Amino acid sequence: MATENHNLSEYDKASIPNAKDFRFGIVVSEWNDTITEGLYKGAKEALLDCGAIEDHIVRWNVPGSFELIYGCKKMQQPKIFDAIIAIGSVIQGETKHFDFVCEGVTQGIKDLNIINDTPVIFCVLTDNNIQQSIDRSGGKHGNKGTEAAVAAIKMAFLNKQ
What average pLDDT does the segment 22-31 reach?
A: 98
Task: Tell me the domain boundaries of the chain.
Answer: 17-160
Distance (Å, whole) CA 97 – CA 93: 8
Q: Percent of the chain scored above 90 by pLDDT? A: 86
Name the superfamily (CATH) of residues 17-160: Lumazine/riboflavin synthase (3.40.50.960)
155 burial type by CB count under 10 A (0-12 exposed, 13-18 middle, 19+ buried): buried
Going by pLDDT thresholds of 50, 70 and 90, the confidence category of residue 149 is very high
Would you say residue 1 has pLDDT above 50?
Answer: no
Q: Percent of the chain scored above 70 by pLDDT? A: 95
Integer CA distances (angstroms), 42 to 63, 96, 112, 144, in order: 20, 30, 23, 7
What average pLDDT does the segment 15-37 reach?
A: 97
How many other CB atoms are found less than 10 A from the CB of residue 147?
24
Would you say residue 65 has pLDDT above 70?
Answer: yes
Which of 9-13, 35-39, 40-44, 146-150 is the least confident region?
Answer: 9-13
Note the Cα 25 to chain centre separation in Å. Answer: 10
pLDDT mean across residues, the chain? 94
Could you tell me the pTM of the whole model?
Answer: 0.94
What average pLDDT does the segment 21-40 reach?
A: 98
Would you say residue 8 has pLDDT above 80?
Answer: no
For residues 71 and 62, the answer to whether their CB atoms sit within 8 Å is yes
3-state DSSP call for residue 39?
A: helix
3-state DSSP call for residue 28?
A: strand
Distance (Å, whole) CA 81 – CA 57: 9
Residues in Cβ contact with 100 at an 8 Å cutoff, skipping those fewer than 6 apart: none
Catalytic residue set? 97
